[in-house]
Structure 1
Amino acid sequence: MRGGSKQLQYSWYPPGREWEEAKIPQQWDRPVTIATGKIGRYVIIYSTERAAEYMLYEWPKSMDGKKFTAAKLALIDAHDGKISIDEARSAFIAAAEEAGIFCRQ
């Protein structure tokens, strides 16, 4: 690489959004453990971007309510720097609880 080593960057782009410069993941102080549909399998959500990815691709289709929609918007807003990552984390947890998904904080 030119100019020495760079920190690994991860970007998340919601569908329909214009490309923007890659951002460093917004790491949460406390990860959230989510139970999957498979017995004994858990997913650890450690950042705003991972939470958004989980909601887009792994969230159970039949379990989307008002808090699910609010959480998606909160994750986008946190990614854009409009709200804190703690607010986005709380919205994600609320959506999981609304959906009846086991969530360990």
Structure 2
Amino acid sequence: MWDEPVEVVIGPDDHFKSIRGSREALAYLMTCWPQKGGDSFALAKRACMEAAEGRGDPSTAASAFRAAANDAGILR
């Protein structure tokens, strides 16, 4: 679990979802992400995978996910 959730906008009606941890972020990246590919997406995917497997830092994963969401235009 992350210290603070990262909120992302989903759908055209500006609904949002709170992502609370690396596993949830990884699942979101793989299934719902609007723009797969790109540097920030790849960094977030790797950071979240490593944190979910216990090999990486959760705060690094949260920061990478936040940056990727910002780049994708879905950060709330």
Q: Shorter-chain TM-score category? A: 0.7 to 0.9
Q: Which has the larger radius of gyration?
A: 1
Q: 2:60 aligns with which of 87, 90, 93?
A: 87
Counterpart of 1:50 in structure 2 is 24
TM-fit CA distance, 1:63: 5.1
Percent identity reads 37
Counterpart of 1:70 in structure 2 is 43
TM-fit CA distance, 1:38: 2.2
Q: Could you tell me which amino acid in structure 2 is paired with residue 68 of structure 1?
A: F
Q: Which gives a bigger RCO, structure 1 or 2 (Cα 8 Å, sep 6+)?
A: 2
Stretches of 4+ moved more than 3 A in 1? Answer: none
Residues matched between the structures, number: 76
Contact 1:65 1:98 in 2 (8 A): no
CA distance in 1, matches of 2:31, 2:42: 14
Matching of residue 99 in structure 1 with residue 53 in structure 2: no
Matching of residue 37 in structure 1 with residue 33 in structure 2: no
SS in 2 for 1:29: coil
1:14-33 alignment runs, 5 A limit: 27-33=1-7
Distance of aligned partners of 1:77 and 1:66 in 2 relative to their CA distance in 1, 3 Å threshold? same
Gaps of 5+ in 2: none
- Deviation per CA, 1:1-47: give whole Å up to 9, x if none: xxxxxxxxxxxxxxxxxxxxxxxxxx111111101122131111011
